[in-house]
Amino acid sequence: MKSISILGSTGSIGINTLNVIRLHPERFKVTALAAGSNLDLFAAQIKEFKPRLVSLEREEDALKLSSIVGPSVEVLYGAEGAESVAVYDNPDVTVSAITGAAGLLPTLAAAKAGGVVALANKESLVLAGSIVMAEAKKSGATIVPVDSEHSAIMQSLVGHRREDIKRIILTASGGPFLDRPQEDFVNITPQQALKHPNWDMGAKVTIDSATLLNKGLEVIEARWLFDLSPDEISVLVHPQSIVHSMVEYLDGSIISQMGAPDMRGPIAYALAYPERIETGVEPCDLTRGPLEFREPDMKKFPCLGLAYDALRAGGTMPAALNAADEVAVRAFLEGQVAFTAISGIIEDTLTRNAPGNGATIEEITSADRVARENARRAVKKVEL
């Protein structure tokens, strides 16, 4: 039986991870959980899965939870609490599903511990890919991606030689505004942007999907996961979200992984790796219609191009990109700025970033902090 620690158990990935675990009580045992502030859901998860260690974001929530769960469960809080969950009792698998830069240090702790890291927190590699991958290599940790695109790439590489790869192709749904005229983007509301056509995700990831910034972050993540240059990573828009990504080889062959757009598939692959298990996912019906592929429109969705620019610049630029995006998306969701302002805030922040080499966590966190300050200034310049 595999022991599982989950970082971000009340988010979309965390909930789906527990859905998979619920199907296989003989395979998996939840030993530790970390969450943000959804106290009611977290308490219900603790009651059902009986972890021995849990953590919440805020101390006041941890105190409330302690009175609910009793002395049989150790309750921690804050960044240190999440790091403790990541490595508690040397788990066989740590699921890293905290959204945003907050997931970096717990993910790094898991990579240092040497088990399997089921990675859904792409920001860990966006901010500190060289550091996380170096620590995983040193400890012998196996990083298995949970993002459907990177899981598809990993599966499409099985049995093939690294030197035979020509490029990988990440697919993007295109989000809810793929066919909406660009001149109408200024009228997009948060409610409209949160209605993804295919996937059920958290608010931040859903908005990033609508701007294609999420795909840009995945390009940066793929660079570290698969040791590829930016020119070896392509993006195609695939509105049906059936082909989750592809690998093109030197002989012209393309190997892809296909399936219904349901995160339980890649989650189950990461939990059971290298085995495959039942997921409860309905098989995709390939007779329902044609599968369509398009080149992404970089003028209509400039965030994707900004991500490629940050990757090529290297150092702390990807950290600045991510920080600016987190600030810009929050401002949009709170009604402070228009949808069209998101890319401008990111670009303004990147132009003000003094890139370092990103060799240490301290340098990366400093760049993240400065970029957030610059992004907040950019927000104030374009507030509605």
Beta carbons of 161 and 204 less than 8 angstroms apart: no
* Helices 203-211, 317-333: inter-axial angle, 10-degree rounding: 110
Residue range 96-122: average pLDDT? 95
Beta carbons of 238 and 215 less than 8 angstroms apart: no
pLDDT-above-70 percentage for the chain:
100
Residue range 203-216: average pLDDT? 94
What confidence score (pLDDT) does residue 256 get? 97
Cβ-count burial 77-114 (b if 16+ within 10 Å, e if not):
beeebbbbbbbbeebbbbbbbbbbbbbbbbbbbbbbbb
Closest CA to 109 of 120, 100, 91, 126: 91
Residue range 19-46: average pLDDT? 97
Q: What is the distance between the alpha carbons of residues 220 and 222, in angstroms, rounded to a whole number?
A: 5
pLDDT tens by residue, 43-82: 999 999 999 999 999 999 999 999 999 899 999 999 999 9
pLDDT tens by residue, 246-300: 999 999 999 999 999 999 999 999 999 999 999 999 998 888 889 999 999 999 9
pLDDT of 183 above 90:
yes
Sketch out the chain's domains with CATH numbers.
2-145 (3.40.50.720), 148-312 (no CATH), 314-384 (1.10.1740.10)
Handedness of CA 147, 152, 158, 160 (dihedral sign): negative
Q: What is the distance between the alpha carbons of residues 1 and 303, in angstroms, rounded to a whole number?
A: 43
Tell me the average pLDDT of the chain.
Answer: 95
What confidence score (pLDDT) does residue 258 get? 96
pLDDT tens by residue, 138-181: 999 999 999 999 999 999 999 999 999 999 999 999 999 999 99
What confidence score (pLDDT) does residue 353 get? 86
What confidence score (pLDDT) does residue 288 get? 84
Q: What is the distance between the alpha carbons of residues 314 and 232, in angstroms, rounded to a whole number?
A: 16
Q: Quick one: pLDDT band at residue 356, thresholds 50, 70, 90?
A: confident
